[in-house]
Structure 1
Amino acid sequence: MIMLSSLNRLFVKLLLGFWLCSSLTIGFVGILPFLQKSHDQLPMDQGQKRLLKRTASHFIESPKLLENPKALKRLHRNRTPDGKPLRFFILNDQDVVINSQKVPRTFRQFLLLSEEFDAPMSHQFRDEMVFGPYTFISDNSEYRIYGRVADNHPRPWFFFFNDHKLLTVLIAMLLSGILCGLLAWYLGKPLRSLKLSANALAGGDLTSRVDEKTAGRRDEMGELALAFNSMAESIETMMHNQQRLMGDISHELRTPLTRLQLSLALARKKEQSTVEIERIGYEAEQLEALIAELLTLSRVTISNSENKVHLELAESLSQILDDAEFEAEQKQKKLLIDIPETISLDHYPKALSRAIENVLRNAIRYANCDISITAISQDQSVIITIKDDGPGIEEADLEEVFKPFYRPDSSRDRESGGWGLGLAITQAAIKLNNGSIKANNIKPNGLQVLIKLPEKAS
């Protein structure tokens, strides 16, 4: 068990992978010459020896033939029983070829190879075989005779690589690249899974986990995946507990608040109204509104009971768009609406309407004159754009405004009177619909909010 655990270590896998890859490549390239040598170089067989002996016997019986050019020339006109060209070369005691002025390169190479071989041998070149020597004495002089026959014996396919060194190197580099690439893919795949899960978790998807296949690995990658999933579980539980606590506290605050409002109503009924009582009543109303916002944020974030439907966007937003037009007219501002009735998507109508309403009312509140809301269908997504020509927001606050209770210190929010929950509710509602939201300033002045929603539920 300990041995298996050690072999599953990432370090061991990397070491063995690269070591085996390099060893196999170097070993294959290095062993080819030895394989070819053992295949091509063999001791001269008896048939070859008899052939050389029979040819040499003519010169032993008639030494003068060694001085006859015509007789020597005939040594190049022989053929084997199966019709293949057969040539003989005779060397004197000074290692000079006496029957040919032009010595083939392969024969010279054979002479060099035979010096390392203790006995007569044969060597298979690409298109011919050379064998010998057979030593004989003629007229008290020593001669050696060799044979050369055009013969191409079948050779193992891998000898091709030994004959083409450059191509062999290129193929070895390619194969090692493929092996290393497979190893890199094997190591990189779980890292990509971890990256996607981490990005999803950072983007607010608390349900994101590393897939089971990666978590089931028995190396450091698997341990890292399990640790990540454990961390994500803890974060999700902590966030849900925090959000639930906020909702529970809001519910609990409503009971004493209701009693306070009842007491204020009784005091007013008894004509005991004073400036102080009116102030308490105003603050109680503000507290009631704040609790309502907190409960809305809690419902959108963790306890949405609404069913998702496929509906036209214009139909879902019809009521809030009518209200927004009326509010804009009352403030002498112009609202442009461009939402085609052909655009439809899977969504939670109430949550999406609340999100759009919050952004749209903010735009109407801070616009100088013009507000617009448009929607387009693009790449299986619906993009909703809300613009106004107001003062905009500081660049550093564009991402922070979607956080609960965050109120930027800018002209746009200095006198808003809110608690910084409206855009937090909007972002929670957009995430509930698997969408995204971002804000950016437009020149020369104004703010643009982009909401991107998928047309189909994933």
Structure 2
Amino acid sequence: MKAPSTINRLFVKLLLGFWLCSSLIIAFMAILPFLQHSHDQLPLNDKQKHVLKRTAKHFIEDPELLDNPRAIKRLNRHRSPDGKYLKFYILDEQSRVLNHNKVPRTFREFLLISEEHETPISHQFRSELIFGPYTFIAGEQQYRIYCRVPDNHPRPWFFFFSDNKLLTALIAMLMSGALCGLLAWNLGKPLRSLKQSSNALASGDLSSRVDKKVAARGDEIGELAQAFNSMADAIETMINNQQRLMGDISHELRTPLTRLQLSLALARKKEQGSVEIERIGYEAEQLEDLISELLTLSRVTISNSENKVHLELAESLSQILDDADFEAEQQQKQLDIEIPESISLDHYPKSLSRAIENVLRNAIRYADSKVSIKALQQGNEVLVTISDNGPGIDETELEDIFKPFYRPDSARDRESGGWGLGLAITQAAIKLNQGSIRASNVNPQGLQVSITLPVKMKS
């Protein structure tokens, strides 16, 4: 298996994902003030210098105008070439504004900003532009002049974030969540696929494999998927070989068993019967039954040759239900059958009938007086339940009764002399029909076996 490159390592993906996410958001938040600073604050251009210098010239030539409030106020009647009123502010050496009683907040801000610069600047506020100062001497005193002009110059869209910090923080959180969610989805999706395949394999679906797209990933998850598929291949091969070996051995045992039975028949024909001969004959019949059960289990598990059909459930089970009804009647037990004729599904009739027959005959054998078999369609599934009012089975053994050769200690099967293969054959037949089977005890007493079958089987 080829090791993933360093860049495809899961650790590197997680590190880069979270690092890039946090770095981009921090960088964006940090760069906003610089962008705003570079956009709003610029050196004075020639046009602005000319406006300030031309206005200051009047006071340089006639310093007495600075003592005339009317003359100073007339400055605010000037207009720019585009028709906007210009407002001038003249400050003395003590930074007192000479021509205005009230100073707007934006101008006070600009004074603080301009003190941090050695050269005159212009600053763009939300709805106005302020530039200056131009320093001049009138008489024997030094003055500074500034200009303020209404200016609704459109600002770049990203300044919206600078003006709405709370909303910006919320958007950053959402973006961070979205990026981290995308990373989590990228990591979680293949893990969910791996989990589904693991559950399917654990439930007995030996053909379950992780999707090829997941296995083709170049990181550790891809390596894990490839390892899982290799493990599943090995398990499927091992189980199939084991089951095939069991079938082959069972088949080969039939040849010496047939010779043994033939020899017994010849001995009986020659009237050489004895207690020992009869015992050998009995054990040969038991061995024949065991081999027959093993071959049935092998056929159902790995070599099914039956064709799948879409048929009414009642029709497929009609013969075994008639036989079960007769058997129950002979044992003076009641059998209730509730299988609507409207229920039809894709299935293998022979194997499904054999499976339900095994469960139904067990229920009749161990029931005290009553057995029931019911079928109910629930959406895309059919639920078949077989219940009896017999002794039931210990809760700890309910899952194990479907294992080959398992016979519970509480045994309903101990008295029957069975081999513990009937329910194993049943489970194999139900899995062949892509269904599931489970057993549970019912109150006040008895056992219920539930079989779930899909209405339409996967091809």
TM-score range, shorter chain: over 0.9
Alpha carbons 2:4, 2:220 under 8 Å: kept: no
Looking at structure 2, the residues matched to 77 and 291 of structure 1 have their Cα atoms a distance apart, in angstroms, of 117
What is the one-letter code of the residue matched to 2:298?
S
Q: How does 1:382-401 map to 2 (within 5 A)?
A: 382-401=382-401
Secondary structure of the equivalent of 1:351?
helix
1:331 aligns with 2:331: yes
Report the counterpart of residue 373 of structure 1 in structure 2.
373
SS of 2:89's equivalent in the other structure is strand
1:156 maps to what in 2? 156
Residue 75 of structure 1 and its aligned partner are, at CA, apart by 3.6
Cα separation, 1, equivalents of 2:4 and 2:436: 46
Q: How does 1:4-23 map to 2 (within 5 A)?
A: 5-23=5-23
Match of 1:428 in 2: 428
Q: Larger deviation: 185-194 or 339-348?
A: 185-194
Amino acid at match of 2:259: R
The residue type equivalent to 1:103 in the other structure is V
Q: What is aligned with 1:275?
A: 275
Paired amino acid for 1:409 = D
Letter aligned with residue 282 of structure 2:
Y
SS at match of 1:208: coil
Q: Which amino acid aligns with 1:254?
A: R
What is the aligned partner in structure 2 of residue 131 from structure 1?
131
| Structure 1 contact 312–344 (Cα < 8 Å) conserved | yes
Distance in 2 separating the partners of 1:220 and 1:62: 85
Indicate conservation of the 8 Å contact 1:254/1:291, yes or no. Answer: yes
The one-letter code sitting in structure 2 at the alignment partner of 1:372 is S
Distance 2:299 2:312 in 1: 24
Q: CA RMSD in A?
A: 1.4
Aligned-pair CA distance for 1:78: 3.7
Shift in Å at residue 3 of structure 1? 12
Whether 1:211 and 2:211 are equivalent positions in the alignment is: yes
- For residues 376 and 65 of structure 2, the distance between their equivalents in structure 1, rounded to whole angstroms, comes to 105
Distance 1:97 1:295 in 2: 111
Task: Give yes or no for the alignment of 1:415 onto 2:415.
Answer: yes
Displacement of 1:4 in angstroms is: 8.4
Match of 1:105 in 2: 105
Aligned identity (percent) is 75
Alignment of 1:13-412 (within 5 A): 13-412=13-412
- Distance in 2, matches of 1:259 and 1:145, equals 127
Q: TM-score, normalised by structure 2?
A: 0.97
- What is the letter of the counterpart of residue 151 of structure 1? D
The offset of 1:195, in angstroms, is 0.7
Q: Take 2:96 and 2:174, find their aligned partners in 1: how far apart are those partners?
A: 47
Shift of 1:251: 0.4
User: CA contact under 8 A between 2:4 and 2:219: conserved in structure 1?
Assistant: no
Q: For residues 79 and 172 of structure 1, what CA distance do their matches in structure 2 show?
A: 44
CA shift, 1:77, in A, is 4.1
* AA matched with 1:104: P
Distance 2:340 2:77 in 1: 97
Q: Distance in 2 between matches of 1:338 and 1:128?
A: 87
8 A contact 1:312–1:345 mirrored in 2: yes
Deviations 1:35-65 (A, max 9, x none): 1101111001111111111222222233232
Q: Secondary structure at the match of 2:5?
A: helix
Retained in 2: the 8 A contact 1:391–1:411? no
Query: Matched residue of 1:136: which SS?
Result: strand
Paired with 1:118 and 1:145, the residues of 2 have a C-alpha distance of 15
User: How many residues matched?
Assistant: 457
Gaps in structure 2 of 5+ consecutive residues: none
How far is the alpha carbon of 1:72 from its aligned partner? 3.0
Segment of structure 1 superposing worse, 288-297 or 213-222: 213-222
Q: How many angstroms apart in 1 are the aligned matches of 2:74 and 2:438?
A: 97
Structure 1 gaps, min length 5: none
Q: 1:435 to 1:176 in 2, by over 3 A?
A: same
SS at match of 2:340: coil
Q: Distance in 1 between matches of 2:21 and 2:3?
A: 22
Q: 1:369, 1:424 → 2: CA distance?
A: 26
Shift, 1:86, TM fit: 2.1
In the alignment, is the contact (CA less than 8 A) between 2:413 and 2:420 conserved in 1? no
More deviation in 347-356 or 84-93? 84-93
